[in-house]
Amino acid sequence: MKCSTGKKQHNSQALAEQALIQNRVQFDASKAIGVYQCEVCDSWHLTSKGQLNPVLKKAMEDGSLQREIDRYQWQQQYR
């Protein structure tokens, strides 16, 4: 069932956090900083509001987010 908010649905917080990281990797202009459980559909969505998600924060601090961004950009050059 689609959510009436029109946002992409994720079945768990962990999957939404993975999508959050991937979103930041693939889209330079991404403003998504967190995830939340929707009161309408009970799925998880990305959000640009609120506090920085701990998983995203850790990825930013330990450099793993930048490594993923670099890898993604490198792959895009050779497609």
Give 2-51 pLDDT, tens digit per residue: 899 999 999 999 999 999 999 999 998 899 999 999 999 999 999 999 99
Write out the H or E segment, with its range, that includes residue 44: strand 44-47
Distance CA 77, CA 9 (A): 30
Distance CA 17, CA 61 (A): 16
| Type of residue at 36 | Y
pTM: 0.90
At 29 the pLDDT is 85
Centre a 10 Å sphere on the Cβ of residue 9 and count the other Cβ atoms it contains: 16
